[in-house]
Amino acid sequence: MKIGFDFGTSFSALAVYRDGEIHRIMFDGEPQFRTAIYFPPYAPSADFFNADDHQTEIASIRSALIRSETEAKENYSDRVREERVRVTSQARNDPAGYNADRQLSAKYQRMLSDAIIRIPEPVETTRADKDKQAIETARRQWLESEAGKDRVLGNLEESQLEGALFGNEAVDAYLNNDRKGLLLYNPKAFLAHDLSSRLSAPLERAIGSLFRKVVGAVEEQFQGEQVTGVVIGRPVNFGKKQSDVENDRAISIITHAAELAGMSNVSFMYEPSAASYQFHVSQDTPRKVLVVDLGGGTADLSLVTLGGAEPAPIPHRQQGYLLGGNDVDRELNKKGYMPFFGKGQEVRGIPALNSYFAYAANVQHIEYQKKFIEADLRLVPEPFRERLNHLKKSGNTIRLNRLAEESKIELGRQESRSRKVIDFIGEERGVDIDGAIYADAMARYLEKLKVLLQEFSDEDFDMVSLTGGMSRAKGVKELVERVFPDKDVQSSESTLDVVSGLAIYAAQQ
C-alpha cells in the first residue's frame, strides 16, 4: 500500500486513495495533526553501568577518598592538640589546676576528656570499602551525566525514540512535564540547516520515529495491510537561500527517516502540484494555472499546465518562500501579547530588551529561544520582570505562541476581538487582541505576499488556484484579485488539497 503524506511545517496529514475514494487517516478524530515530536526524559538504568569502562574515574575517586581520610586523621590530631593546649593553659592560671604530682587535677582531666569526646573521630575504612565507595560514586556520577542528556538532539537514546509522542499530545506532554525531555516543534523548519553529522543523524532518527507512528496509524486503519511506499509533499524551497544544497539536504533527511520507518519506496511531489492534482485529473482540456499554496511555514507558487492526457501537472516555473501563518502568529505575539510582558517600556531611556521579545515570540528558532532564556532582566521594572521570568520557564513561550495562533484563527473568522487568559505567569490575567492588531499582522504578511505574486505578473495563464490554510485568511483572495484583475481566481475551502493529491498520485504509481 502506498500512501500520500503531507509533512507540513505546522500540521501534517496522511491519506490513501482506493476505489475512487480518498480515505483520510484520522488522529484523535482529526484528519491532521500538529507537526511536533516529544521524547520523554531519558531514565538511565544503573544496570548499564560497567565499572571496567570507568577505571580512570574510579581510581581518581579512590585517591580522593584516601587523601580525605588522611586529612581527617591529621585534622583530628590537630584538634586534640589544640584542646590539650587550651585546657592546660587554663589549668596553669588556676591554683587548683594541678595536683601534688603536677598532673592535671580531676576537674581539668574531665574538661579535657569532654572536649576530646566532642571532636568527631575520623572513620578509617578498609581498601575494599574504599573500592566499593569509589565504584558507587562513579556510578552515581554516570547516572547524573546520563540523565543530563535530556533536551539534546544529539543524545537521544533508543528508549526515548520508542516512547516518542507526536501532535498536540507531544506539546501537552512536554508542557506538563516541566519542560523535561525533548520537544521538536515544527521539525520541518530545521531540515535546510547546515547541521553536523552529529545532529543530522539523530534528526533523521527523530523524524523516523514520527514516521513510524504515522505508518502505524495507517496500518491500524487498514487492518492486515502494510505500508510499503509513500509520496511525500515538499515545498519548492526548504530554506531561505532557495538553494539546491538546502533542498537536497532536507530531501536526504526525510528520505532516510522514511526508510527508517520501513518505507523503502519513497518519492516526492511538489506541494503546489499535489494541491492541484485533483483538478488536473478531472479536466479533459489543458489549462495553464498559477497555483498559490499558502501554508504555515512556506508560500509556494507554481505555474503549471493542468488537465489533458498528461499523467501529472506540467510545471513551467516554481518559486518557494519562507512565508506562512507562523509569521502572522509571531507578529500577533509581539504586538498583542508582548506588551503585557513589558515590550515598549522604557528602561533608562532605552526600549527594554525589545530584541528579546522577538526572540521569545520566535518559537521555531532554537537559538532565539536560548537567547531569550539567557537574557539579563535585572533592569526590567516590575511587574514585567517577574512575568518574563515566568515566561522563561517550562515551555511557556510555546504556550503563549499557541494563544497567538488561536487568536489568529478567531480574528480571521470576522471576530472583532479575541480574549485569552494567561495563567502560567504566577497570576491569571486576561489579554485582549483586537482586530487592529490582527490587521497590522496580516498587512505585513500581505505586503510580502504581494511582492511574491508580482513576480508572476508577466506570465501567461488564465486561472489562479488558491490553496493552503493561509489562503482563506482575511484579505488574501482580495489581494490576489487585485494583482491579477483579469484572471479567474478560485479558492479552495479544504486544508487537505495537498494530501488528497499526494494520495491519488501515490495510488497511480
Query: Which of the listed residues 416, 437, 458 is the one where a domain comes to its end?
Result: 437
Crossing angle of helices 127-147 and 55-92, rounded to 10°: 120
Give the structural domain span for 364. 326-437
Per the domain annotation, does 464 fall within a domain?
no
333 has a pLDDT exceeding 90: yes
Inside any domain, residue 432: yes
For the chain, the distance separating the N- and C-terminal CA atoms, rounded to the nearest angstrom, is 11
Q: What is the pLDDT of residue 354?
A: 73
The pLDDT score that the predictor gives to residue 293 is 92
- Overall average pLDDT of the 158-175 stretch: 79
Question: 485 lies in a domain?
Answer: no
Please state the domain count of the chain.
3
Element (H, E) at 491: strand 488-491
Residue 28 above 80 pLDDT?
yes
Residues 115 and 179 in one domain: no
pLDDT tens track for 280-299: 888 889 999 999 999 888 89
Binning pLDDT at 50, 70 and 90, where does residue 393 land? confident
Q: Is pLDDT above 90 for 469?
A: no
What whole-number percentage of the chain has pLDDT above 70? 94
pLDDT one-digit tens code per residue, 405-436: 999 988 987 778 899 999 888 888 999 998 89
Query: Is residue 232 one of the residues assigned to a domain?
Result: yes
| 260 and 121 in a common domain | no
Residue 266: which H helix or E strand, with range? strand 265-270
Note whether 54 and 143 are within 8 A (CB).
Answer: no
**Is 412 within the bounds of a domain?**
yes
What band does 168 get if pLDDT is binned at 50, 70 and 90? confident
How much is the average pLDDT of 105-128?
Answer: 89
Q: Is the peptide bond prior to 383 cis by the omega test (within 30 degrees of 0)?
A: yes
Question: Per-residue pLDDT for 151 more than 60?
Answer: no
My answer on whether 230 and 243 are in the same domain is: yes
22 shares its domain with 137: no
- What's the Cα-to-Cα distance from 485 to each of 6, 317, 477, rounded to whole Å? 31, 21, 11
Greatest pairwise CA separation for the chain in angstroms: 130
Domain annotation covers residue 171: yes
pLDDT value of residue 459? 93
**CB neighbours (10 Å) of residue 146?**
18
Distance CA 158, CA 259 (A): 17
Q: Are residues 71 and 93 in the same domain?
A: yes
CATH code of the domain containing 7: 3.30.420.40
| Residue after which a domain boundary falls, among 147, 166, 199 | 147
Whether 321 maps to a domain, the answer reads: no
Within-domain flag for 356? yes
Residues 13, 98 within the same domain: no
At 63-100, the pLDDT tens digits run 999 999 899 899 999 999 999 999 899 988 888 888 87
Last residue in a domain, options 147, 173, 193: 147
Check pLDDT > 90 for residue 451. Answer: yes
With a cut of 70, say whether residue 272 has pLDDT above it.
Answer: yes
pLDDT class of 394 with cuts at 50, 70, 90: low
CA distance 237 to 241: 8
Closest CA to 369 of 358, 381, 354, 384: 358
The DSSP output letter for 223 is T
- The pLDDT of 336-348, averaged and rounded, is 86
Q: Report pLDDT for 157.
A: 65
Q: Where are the beta strands (DSSP E) in 83-234?
A: 165-166, 182-185, 229-234
State residue 477's pLDDT score: 93
Indicate whether 33 and 142 sit together in one domain: no
286 versus 177: which is more confidently predicted? Answer: 286
Query: What's the pLDDT score for residue 165?
Result: 85
How confident is the model at residue 500, as a pLDDT? Answer: 92
Pair (22, 79) in one structural domain: no
Q: Please report which confidence band the pLDDT of residue 480 belongs to, taking 50, 70 and 90 as the band edges.
A: very high
- In three-state secondary structure terms, 478 is helix
Specify whether 232 is located in the same domain as 135: no
One domain, residues 133 and 207: no
Does 169 share its domain with 72?
A: no
- Whether 148 has a pLDDT exceeding 80, the answer reads no
Closest CA to 269 of 477, 28, 1, 3: 3
Question: Comparing 300 with 47, which gets the higher pLDDT?
Answer: 300
Residue 443 to residue 228: CA distance in whole angstroms: 45
Please tell me whether residues 93 and 189 are part of one structural domain: no
Residue 484 in grid coordinates: 491579477
Per-residue pLDDT at 292: 93
Reported pTM: 0.71
425-453: average pLDDT: 92
Spatial separation of the C-alpha atoms in residues 374 and 39, rounded to whole Å: 24
pLDDT, position 79: 92
Tell the residue number behind the cell numbers 576530646, with chain if given.
116
Paired strand residues for 5: 14, 232
